[in-house]
Structure 1
């Protein structure tokens, strides 16, 4: 695979909001932990924690385009690499994660603090 075929594309919170409103998002993947997902989540997202992604990839195997998000955008970038290496054509990483999305695109999505 060449570098371009493994590229993860950035998606801004405002771009995601626009595309969600238009129904243009095929698959929205939340890779946060269960406790985080229970506090806030984007509508119609599929929840697969990052540490389960390799084992549960078959749940996403037929998707051509996936937007991945986490709390701040770091775990979703790691998930994006896994997805690209597994053969997903187009993977977007939500810049700044659900935290930025809540602040920029949809304040109705609750914010929370990490338990680190």
Structure 2
């Protein structure tokens, strides 16, 4: 499973590099804090995958709270035919700790 660090993701954001950020945390966690990714809770990913079909060829970076659920989500996406899928190492907890400490994380 390919992984990306929060530092590398932040650099991509700052550079304006093309990627699609998919946040698979639950609704409450996403409302508390987010970094502007497309939100589909992990529990709904299989039934809502059509929403992101247009990004099938894009680099998709998947994030969750701590980096574990995003790995499972990446596996589901790969099984569904998405090819360039990357998990954010450490998830939102790591992003808040190392990139933006002002973000609350549940």
Name the TM-score, length of structure 1 as normaliser: 0.84
Name the CA distance, whole Å, in 2 between partners of 1:9 and 1:95. Answer: 9
Paired residues for 1:17-36 under 5 Å: 17-36=10-29
Per mean C-alpha deviation after superposition, the further-off stretch among 68-77 and 19-28 is 19-28
Alignment of 1:1-116 (within 5 A): 8-43=1-36, 45-63=37-55, 64=57, 65-112=59-106
Instruction: Compare the two structures and name the one with the higher helix fraction.
Output: 2
Q: What TM-score does the superposition give when structure 2 sets the normalisation length?
A: 0.92
Q: Detail structure 1 runs of 4+ shifted over 3 Å in the superposition.
A: none
- Provide the alpha-carbon RMSD of the alignment: 1.1
What residue in structure 2 maps to residue 4 of structure 1?
A: none
Instruction: For structure 2, list consecutive stretches of 5 or more residues without a partner in the other structure.
Output: none
Tell me the number of residue pairs that the alignment of Structure 1 and Structure 2 aligns: 104
